[in-house]
Amino acid sequence: MEELIFTQPDDFERQKQRLFRGGVSRLKILADFDGTLTTNFIHGRKAPSLIGALREGNYLSNDYNKKAQALHDYYKPFESDQTLALESKKALMTEWWHKHFQLLIDSGLCEADIADAVDNRLSNLRPGVIEFLSILEKNNIPLFIFSASGLGISGLKYFFMKRGLWSENIILVANDFIWGKDGRAVGIKEPIIHSFNKDETMLSKIGVAEKFSKRNNIILLGDGLGDANMDNGLSAAAILKIAFVNDKIRESVPLYREVYDALILNDGDFTLPLEVLKEIINYAD
């Protein structure tokens, strides 16, 4: 199977030309983190997600893995059930994450453990992502990173700062914990973000939707079917949706074709988003 699929090549080109004409001042980026900015595999083995890196490090209580797996086994089928109404999915995902976050708190989650997991166990950024981030920073283009991960804002910001990649144009739209004086998690900040509400609703709740409303040209980057909805509620004049299809390629492609404009297969690199971004910058010049 080819490495890159344009689901509607003519429409992709039309949207791209609209992005070019809109220029830098109207552009914003919406991106997932795990499996989108990061690789899905390392040396042929599936890379851990943010929460997976924490789990694999045995930082938590002995019964955490068993209980977390039980929650996963119960709720995961609902997430991928194509016959289930979206509102029902949203309610179930909120329920799942509330229970999982409480489990993390009860299992002794510590802020220092998040830093250690990020340092020693987390997956790599895709080739081309660092250059992509550099161009965004140089041109003051906002990058909204949506993440439903259990490590949330604390882990994400630490990840970028540790690598010298943090900049003020990055806006993290993620879950986060309330930390006690001893550095342990004592609560979770509302609202809960999960795979089916990473959209304008969350931007409004954190108070940034209106600030960037005039940037109505969007490049959307994701690796899940739910990520394609990150533009829900946003009034986009032009949008390109690009997906990284990392696993179960043959089964996934027909579903991804329905909601994305381009598919990057087999844990590919960031060449396509990077090329589009460079063309927008060069067109403006």
Q: Contact, 242 vs 264, CB < 8 A?
A: yes
Q: 213 vs 35, which has greater pLDDT?
A: 35
Residue whose C-alpha is closest to residue 40's, from 241, 249, 258: 249
Averaged over 238-257, what is the pLDDT? 92
Helix axes 9-22, 271-284, angle to 10 degrees: 40
**Number of other CB atoms surrounding residue 1 within 10 Å:** 10
The model's pLDDT over 110-120, given as tens digits with 9 standing for 90+, comes to 888 888 888 87
More confident: 94 or 54: 94
Tell me the chain's radius of gyration from C-alpha atoms. 19
CA dist., res. 171 & res. 157, Å (int): 10
Residues 6+ apart with CB under 8 A from 6: 12, 261, 262
- The pLDDT of residue 176 is 84
Q: pLDDT tens, 97-111?
A: 899 999 999 999 988
What is the residue extent of each domain of the chain?
4-41+124-284
Section 7-25 average pLDDT: 94
Which pTM does this prediction carry?
Answer: 0.88
Per-residue confidence (pLDDT) for residue 43, from 0 to 100: 67
* pLDDT of amino acid 285: 60
pLDDT band at 80 (very low <50, low <70, confident <90, very high): confident
Q: What is the pLDDT of residues 65-74, one digit of tens each?
A: 899 899 999 9
Q: With H, G, I as helix, E, B as strand and everything else as coil, classify residue 9.
A: helix
- Secondary structure letter of residue 123 according to DSSP: P
The C-alpha atoms of residue 153 and residue 144 are separated, in whole angstroms, by 12
**Average per-residue pLDDT in the chain?**
87
What CATH code would you report for 4-41+124-284? 3.40.50.1000
Give the β-pairing of 262-265 and 45-46. Answer: unpaired
How confident is the model at residue 62, as a pLDDT?
Answer: 87
pLDDT digits (tens, 9 = 90+) for 159-188: 899 899 999 999 998 888 899 999 999 998
* H-type alpha helices, the chain: 9-22, 50-56, 64-80, 86-106, 111-121, 129-138, 152-162, 200-205, 249-257, 271-284
Tens-digit pLDDT profile for residues 120-161: 766 689 999 999 999 999 999 999 998 876 667 888 898 899
CA distance 17 to 42: 35
Q: Residues 255-277: pLDDT tens digits?
A: 999 999 999 998 899 999 999 99
CB 60 within 8 A of CB 112: no
pLDDT digits (tens, 9 = 90+) for 190-244: 878 887 777 766 776 676 666 777 899 999 999 988 889 888 888 889 999 999 9
Q: What is the pLDDT of residue 116?
A: 84
Q: Supply the pLDDT for residue 58.
A: 75
Determine how many CB atoms are found less than 10 A away from the CB of residue 224.
23
